[in-house]
Structure 1
């Protein structure tokens, strides 16, 4: 049904500002991801309504180097056009966009019909963007769960079909696949990886996607005891060992400190944020922060002042070895401090702070 639409919009699609003499490898791409953030710019009505391209500039100035654009619904002409708007804004301001699909139907019932819908959804998106936008990544299913936890063959079969379809459209498209159990690092070894796929296939995994939570009567983080830190390091090291054994790069698709952080963060949240960020930086695994609405007020078009110290900690912590930060960059304060120049600096350095109402335009 969307074939005529795709043919038209592909002619209108812009070219990426990220020109490269040689294609990126997955390992290089992972390091360019640096620190990112999960965003609802294409998932919720509010996120879609409040998005303004200048928000992307604010994210870059804060030290964010990629965004995980979550999408939950079926693809339509309006959503495709909106996705293009997001991708082009990211390219303009030097941020890597990653489109992530929720795939609720397939997670709830991984039968042949829902697998075909998954492949068709991604085929529509991939054909729309074609071979342009070389830094655009596709996260096939974020947080595989539900029946997929018990049907590993169905998950691997779907990944094989989607990856083959996407790479038939663009052989150099960066694709992320995640293990079951809501992308648990312990299950990375269960992924069935196509031979010689290291250059364009990465793994996405989660750790504390919504922060420390009660689990079987236990909290994985209270005050940062030696046992709690050791347990977290063990999970991270599981992913590191998988990378070393498989030859594939990986990315943490989202982590958070838990509870509401729209106000001043607690001492425990700050301690957890520092430990998590430094541990991931130490092993040079890029990560995204969950989620944009906790830190950024889309209606006002500004960062929330309360969580500023926490955001700074999660983006650029002072670790024992600061040079080990993925996507190393200088960021003194993500909200009020000095800002680094973006690739579009020539056209944005003279821009003044926009009115609060501008975030709701467009």
Structure 2
């Protein structure tokens, strides 16, 4: 009961803080903590199954923000639905971030589609102009496709859209992502308005679908020293960019890989713990990809078999100086397919699907 209460108190204090003085990006990033990507406004199923009580379940699990992915035109019906989501987040003490897919622009970064992105956000900015300062705008959820070769177009869209939004809502928190599927190594290519450190943050990705095989090799097997060093190098690229520019950043999505059909493996559990611990050590907030992996919207409940994995991603047991090797490891699935939560939590057993 304490965790939900503490989260609500922190959110309330942030709102009071913002009312007394402008909320700054550095403080906002600290409030984000661990969150989750959600399809509550992106897919027909996500829209249909959404219930405000889902937000309560997320908050009780220890998630402090949600990245609400949305596609399509900003119609009245879509804006009304987004308002419902934002209000539910405010009610249960979860920070909402609206993330636009911008699919047409990704596939065709033409001047016309550049303008469409700007117009989409102008409509959304007007609609939410009086909302809590904790609501964030993620301008393009994952710049990819032809944007990988169109850094100039991407910077142009960001510049015009930032100016348009802040002309409507001067203190709104805005995230912009680099090209190459928001790779941290590409952060240096972003052009940021001078003096924008207070309201503009970077959004980047690392293993959005887990450590997938590339060039015949996996970037994570058993967690070798080389594998860990490669991941730390990517996180350090973001840290160095933050230090150089004075801007805060946020990982908009990472995943341990496909888990719905299979129980998490010891390798996935180790990867999840390592990633979460490294990001927490770097004081970089992050969103887990994605809600449908871990939460059954139709049943309105968390998937029991995946709770150890989710715990490792939200509140991992991280190594501390002087710890004995292996003390932090989560108990892997038992041979009979059952799972148990870490020591100190109530034991939950379930049969793997």
TM-score calculated relative to the size of structure 1: 0.84
Equivalent position of 2:79 in the other structure: 80
Specify the alignment match of 1:65 in structure 2.
64
Q: Match for 1:18 among 6, 15, 18?
A: 15
Secondary structure of 2:142's match?
A: coil
* 1:277 correspondence with 2:276: yes
The reply on whether 1:128 has 2:115 as its aligned counterpart is: no
Equivalent position of 2:336 in the other structure: none
CA shift for structure 1 position 163: 0.4
Map 1:5-154 onto structure 2 (within 5 A): 18-19=15-16, 20-154=19-153
Query: Residue 212 of structure 1: SS of its match in structure 2?
Result: coil
Alpha-carbon distance between aligned partners in 2 of 1:265 and 1:146, rounded to the nearest angstrom: 31
User: Over aligned residues, Cα RMSD in angstroms?
Assistant: 1.8
**Number of residues of Structure 1 aligned to a counterpart in Structure 2:** 312
Q: Distance in 1 between matches of 2:89 and 2:345?
A: 22
**Equivalent position SS for 1:265:** coil
Aligned to 1:190: 189
Partner of 2:180: 181
- Can you list the C-alpha shifts for 1:66-102, whole angstroms capped at 9, x where unaligned? 0000001111111100000000000010000000000
CA distance in 2, matches of 1:337, 1:94: 23
Larger RCO, structures 1/2 (Cα 8 Å, 6+ apart):
1
TM normalised by structure 2 equals 0.86
Shift of 1:263: 4.5
Q: Tell me, which stretches of 5 or more residues in structure 2 are unaligned?
A: 1-13, 322-340, 347-353
1:305-362 residue CA offsets vs partner (Å, 9 max, x unmatched): 010100011000011359xxxxxxxxxx79x958xxxxxxxxxxxxxxxxxxxxxxxx
- CA-CA distance at 1:244 after TM superposition: 0.3
SS at match of 2:57: helix
Shift of 1:21: 1.4
Unaligned residue ranges in structure 1 (runs of 5+): 1-16, 323-332, 339-362
**CA distance in structure 1 between the partners assigned to 2:86 and 2:310 by the alignment:** 24
Q: Cα distance, 1:147 vs. partner?
A: 1.2
**1:220-252 deviation per Cα after TM superposition (whole angstroms, max 9, x unaligned):** 111111111100000000000000000000000
